[in-house]
Structure 1
Amino acid sequence: MTMYLLIAGILATLPATGYSLTCIECSVAGDKICNGSSEVCSSGNTVCLLTRAVNNIGDMVTMNVYIRQCGPKELCSKTGSISLPNGRYLTSVTCCDTDNCTPPEPILPEVSKEKNGKKCPSCYLTNAKSCVKVTPTDCIGNETICITQITNLKGPVPSSTIARGCATKQLCDPVHQVWHMNKSVVDLENICDNGGNHLHKNILSLIFSVSVLLKLLC
């Protein structure tokens, strides 16, 4: 009996294995956080993410979405923006690490109108992977990096989009990001450079082109 108790005590001190986090996965357009089904997170996705992405054209908001899903811990607290021709993307990400938890409300970065002296080539094209023509864009606020974003949508209505412009440096990490939304998969690939000096190739965190998001949310 003493031996059995000893073995039981040793087993009780060993860490549990085989645990996988579960998170709510959903996406919705509007000002309210969505609620969806609980999904088991794959290896490497150790937190539940809540992303808010907004697109402004001039003074008009043309996109405002919330996305919930499993994700890597390095995406926690990612906040930033991209300036494109006649428009600007804003995004913010929060996270939590318990089953089906709801992360805090993401706070979007403040919109600055002050030019910082940097210029980046900019363009926006759908169903393309390169820009034939670019327009110099004045960078504003803390957007100190030039960015090239390629969005590939795989699903019932596949498409690709390229966007180039100014970005906050924080959006250049992590290296890779894939989003599973409804029946579609969104792959975001990004190249960041500092005015011609190549830095590294990454997946842009939680910034989505308007056309891709509208197709996903239809």
Structure 2
Amino acid sequence: MKPSMKPETFLLAATLLCTLLGLGYPLSCEVCTSDGPNCSGKLKTCARDEDSCLVVVTESNTKGSLAVTSYKGCAKSSECDSGSFAVTMNTENYMGSTRRCCKNDGCNQDPLPAFVRNHTENGLRCPSCLAAFKETCTATQDAVCVGEETRCVSVSGLAQLGIKFAARGCGTETACHTKPGTLVPSGSRLLTIKKTSCHPSSQASGKAE
């Protein structure tokens, strides 16, 4: 007959087991960036504080150059929202995206429907500007709002290499609630949204706020 485990030994083993279970295992997500509505890459192990997988598709128009970009990777749940948002600075500068966040290994491998922009004017206007290397910008014109863009939005953040940017224009209600740290691919750049604020938009016949 085998000797029974000593109480102190059992307690130590139970403590170690609980500690290991509490630490959990790192999440694995597909990681890739590509032009077009979908990309394909390898599964990679996320950092321990990255507890979500992200897939996002963005349609952006920069000075009349239209681009659709897809991105998949790891993210923190505190910086990851499922849903969509759109911001229009003017007819040649706008951005919209759809994203999905999930928490299982490889759960971001499935493609996401591309963002579809509603180009129909809704009769609202907002002050508009776009600037690089700055955290704020001063409106120089009015943006004509389209579709579900019913709010005036101010956005600031970082492009790759830590370059600051700021923008103001028409936005959807969902853009007002974008979490700080949200990643948005735009052409060859990966933008990080740091701050958003919103105000009511004005009727086209009135003066924008």
**TM-score, length-scaled by structure 1:** 0.68
Q: Secondary structure at the match of 1:192?
A: strand
C-alpha distance in 1 between matches for 2:121 and 2:3:
75
C-alpha distance in 2 between matches for 1:3 and 1:97:
41
C-alpha distance in 2 between matches for 1:57 and 1:190:
21
Name which of 195, 201, 212 aligns with 2:200: 195
The answer to whether structure 1 residue 134 and structure 2 residue 140 are counterparts is yes
Within 5 Å, which residues of 2 pair with 1:162-181? 162-177=166-181, 179=183
Equivalent AA in structure 2 for residue 176 of structure 1? P
RMSD: 3.6
C-alpha distance in 2 between matches for 1:53 and 1:63:
8
Q: Secondary structure at the match of 1:166?
A: strand
1:26 and 1:35 in contact (8 A); partners too: yes
Query: Deviations for 1:159-206, whole angstroms, at most 9, x for unmatched residues?
Result: 22221111111123343116599xx9853223322238xxxxxxxxxx
Q: Secondary structure at the match of 1:83?
A: strand
Q: Post-superposition shift, 1:152?
A: 1.8
Within 5 Å, which residues of 2 pair with 1:90-105? 90-105=96-111
Identity of aligned residues (%): 17
| 2:207 aligned residue | none
C-alpha distance in 1 between matches for 2:56 and 2:165:
20
Name which of 47, 53, 60 aligns with 2:58: 53
Structure 1 residues 192, 36: closer, same or farther in 2, change over 3 A?
same
Equivalent AA in structure 2 for residue 160 of structure 1? K
Report the count of equivalent residues: 189
C-alpha distance in 2 between matches for 1:172 and 1:180:
15
Structure 1 unaligned runs (5+)?
A: 197-218
The answer to whether structure 1 residue 66 and structure 2 residue 74 are counterparts is no
| 1:118 aligned residue | 124
Equivalent AA in structure 2 for residue 127 of structure 1? F
C-alpha distance in 1 between matches for 2:32 and 2:51:
17
**TM-score, length-scaled by structure 2:** 0.71
Structure 2 unaligned runs (5+)?
A: 202-209
Q: Post-superposition shift, 1:76?
A: 4.3
Q: Post-superposition shift, 1:94?
A: 1.6
Q: Secondary structure at the match of 2:175?
A: helix
Equivalent AA in structure 2 for residue 151 of structure 1? G
Equivalent AA in structure 1 for residue 175 of structure 2? L
C-alpha distance in 2 between matches for 1:159 and 1:89:
18
Larger radius of gyration: 2
Q: Secondary structure at the match of 1:24?
A: strand
2:125 and 2:142 in contact (8 A); partners too: yes
